[in-house]
Amino acid sequence: MIWARSLLYVVYLYAGMAVIGISGMPASMLNARASLISARVWSRYAVFGLRWICGLHLRFEGLEHAPKGGGLVACKHQSMLETIAIFLALPEPAIVFKQELRAMPVFGWFVQRTGMIMVDREAHAKALKDMVRAARASFADGRAIFIFPEGTRQAPGAVPDYKPGVAAIYRELEVPCTPVALNTGLYCHGFLRKPGQAVIRFLPPIPGGLPRREFMRQLEERIEAGCADLAQEAGP
């Protein structure tokens, strides 16, 4: 049953992406903010389908800690769900994405039109400089920078692997950083979506201006502890 519902949801998700994306392309030609409207509509559509097709409910917690405008948010990455759902928690996020996503039909178009921050992971030092420069521009435009500090998805309980990119942005922007913990990986395993209650929890911000080593220590400790708490709350 889970397999069949997951298959139905994948069809539902990508069919909606095509319809909502293509219908929103004319407006997306105006500017990034107009493009973000389609992204939010698709997010609501995706979360609605998870609930009614797969029995997977999504709850945000701690939204009082989320930046109201420009800011920095560092989130654990366990599934595709948080990439979609973040548009429901932050009004105009500038998400740090890998450059390869530009090649995806429809999705790649909107990644570019919404002004997301694209990173060429093969460029190494240049990629870091380009990412920081783009983050500075998005922050100046009043947008919250949203980054996955490990750079890729990690299974629940996997050994943490935090990369230096988030510290470079933190140092450049000189603002607090809001950590985000979650348990989405317990319910979304690649193709499969299991019924339950997924939680994305915004934690109290880490103050700006900390030394790099101390910032990275606090970020990893808070996010990993938050994810462990959510996994325990979820039960077996």
- Domains detected in the chain: 2-234 (3.40.1130)
Residue 180 and residue 15: Cα distance in Å, rounded? Answer: 29
Give the model's confidence band at 156: pLDDT under 50 very low, under 70 low, under 90 confident, else very high.
very high
**Would the pLDDT of 121 be above 90?**
no
Higher pLDDT, 30 or 164: 164
202, 63 Cβ separation under 8 angstroms: yes
Residue 132 and residue 39: Cα distance in Å, rounded? Answer: 24
Strands (E) across the chain are located at 56-61, 71-75, 93-98, 117-119, 144-147, 177-182, 188-189, 192-193, 196-202
The percent of residues in the chain predicted with pLDDT above 90, rounded, is 67
- The predicted-structure confidence for 39-97, as pLDDT tens digits, reads as follows 889 899 999 999 999 999 999 999 999 998 899 999 999 999 999 999 999 988 999 98
- The predicted-structure confidence for 28-43, as pLDDT tens digits, reads as follows 666 667 778 888 898 9
Helix (H) or strand (E) holding 195: none
- What is the model's pLDDT at position 62? 97
State mean pLDDT over 100-116. 70
- What is the model's pLDDT at position 16? 87
- What is the model's pLDDT at position 178? 98
- What is the model's pLDDT at position 109? 63
- The predicted-structure confidence for 170-208, as pLDDT tens digits, reads as follows 999 999 999 999 999 999 988 899 999 999 999 999 999
**Would the pLDDT of 150 be above 70?**
yes
State mean pLDDT over 219-229. 97
Largest CA distance in the chain: 50
- What is the model's pLDDT at position 106? 65
State mean pLDDT over 206-220. 97
**Would the pLDDT of 125 be above 80?**
no
116, 97 Cβ separation under 8 angstroms: yes
- What is the model's pLDDT at position 27? 65
- What is the model's pLDDT at position 68? 87
Amino acid at the residue 168: A
- What is the model's pLDDT at position 101? 66
State mean pLDDT over 98-106. 70
Is the overall model pTM greater than 0.95, yes or no? no
